[in-house]
Structure 1
Amino acid sequence: MSLEQNINGAIKTAMLAKAEAELRALRAIKAAILLAKTSEGSTGELTEADELKLLQKLAKQRKDSLEIFTQQNRADLAKKEEEELAVIERYLPQQMDEAALRAELTAIIASVGAASPADMGKVMGAATKQLAGKADGKAISAMVKELLTK
């Protein structure tokens, strides 16, 4: 079952349950899917990788907005972003914990042969491909930097 079908079913359920926050997030996901499917150069269908990138983009937007609203003491807007982020994260794969991420990155660093912070680009290229959807890019970058400076 595709993401779009899952979202359509979840929208119906949220409408019946009158879950406003969930409905808002699901409609945002559906809108992003429709935009991606009808964008120029699109084949009209989304692959699983495209769906994953789309969800990650939406989650990142919510996290960035949440951070800004929290800094500006806008609890009302921050609460909405948190609610939407929680719904979006249900459709994303489980994120890796710090220990698993460290182990994966250590293996990637060894396989690439990186030894200093100057090799960060090589490691990041391999890591972002291998860990796509499993870990946040900021977390990967920070841990790679930490591991290479040791």
Structure 2
Amino acid sequence: MSLELNINAEIKAAMLGRKEAELRALRAIKAAILVAKTAEGASGELTEADESKLLQKLAKQRKDSLEIFRQQNREDLAVKEEEELLVIERYLPKQMSEDELRTALTGIIAAVGASSPADMGKVMGAASKQLAGKADGKAISAMVKDLLK
């Protein structure tokens, strides 16, 4: 079942269950799918990779907003973002643990032949392709910096 059909079914269930937070997040996902499908140059259908990128973008937006709201002591808004983030994360592939990420990056660093922080660009390029959807870009970057010290 495609993500769009799955989201539509979940929206109906959330409406019937009167789950406000879940409904907000699902509607945001549906809106993002519609925008992506109707964007200029779009084929009208989203691939699984496109869907994954879209969900990652939505999750990143929620995380960034959550961080800002917490810094500004706006717990009321932070709670809403956190609720939406939990719903969005249900549709994302499982993220790698820190140990798994370290192992994968160590292999990539060895394959690329990186030895100093100057080689970070090469490592990040390979890591971004290989670990797309499995780990957050910030986490990858931080770990690469740590490993290339």
TM-score with structure 1 setting the length: 0.99
Q: CA deviation at 1:52?
A: 0.5
Matching residue's letter, 1:36: A
Q: What are the equivalent positions in structure 2 for 1:90-101 lying under 5 Å apart?
A: 90-101=90-101
- Partner-residue secondary structure (3-state), 2:148: helix
Q: What are the equivalent positions in structure 2 for 1:14-29 lying under 5 Å apart?
A: 14-29=14-29
Q: What are the equivalent positions in structure 2 for 1:74-89 lying under 5 Å apart?
A: 74-89=74-89
- Partner-residue secondary structure (3-state), 1:102: helix
Q: CA deviation at 1:126?
A: 0.3
Rounded to whole Å, the distance in 1 between the matches of 2:78 and 2:87 is: 15
Per the alignment, residue 115 of structure 2 pairs with 115
Per the alignment, residue 105 of structure 1 pairs with 105
- Partner-residue secondary structure (3-state), 1:40: coil
Matching residue's letter, 1:103: T
**Deviations along 1:116-143, whole A, 9 cap, x unmatched?**
0000000000000000000000000000
Per the alignment, residue 37 of structure 2 pairs with 37
- Partner-residue secondary structure (3-state), 1:132: coil
Q: CA deviation at 1:98?
A: 0.4
Rounded to whole Å, the distance in 2 between the matches of 1:72 and 1:110 is: 42
Rounded to whole Å, the distance in 1 between the matches of 2:78 and 2:98 is: 26
Q: CA deviation at 1:108?
A: 0.3
Q: Percent identity?
A: 81
- Partner-residue secondary structure (3-state), 2:87: helix
Query: What stretches of structure 1 of length at least 5 have no aligned partner?
Result: none
Q: Which runs of 4+ in 1 moved over 3 A?
A: none
- Partner-residue secondary structure (3-state), 1:134: coil
TM-score with structure 2 setting the length: 0.99
**Deviations along 1:20-48, whole A, 9 cap, x unmatched?**
00000000000000000001010000011
Rounded to whole Å, the distance in 1 between the matches of 2:5 and 2:129 is: 27
Per the alignment, residue 145 of structure 1 pairs with 145
Per the alignment, residue 47 of structure 1 pairs with 47
Matching residue's letter, 1:72: Q
Rounded to whole Å, the distance in 2 between the matches of 1:48 and 1:120 is: 29
Rounded to whole Å, the distance in 1 between the matches of 2:3 and 2:123 is: 31
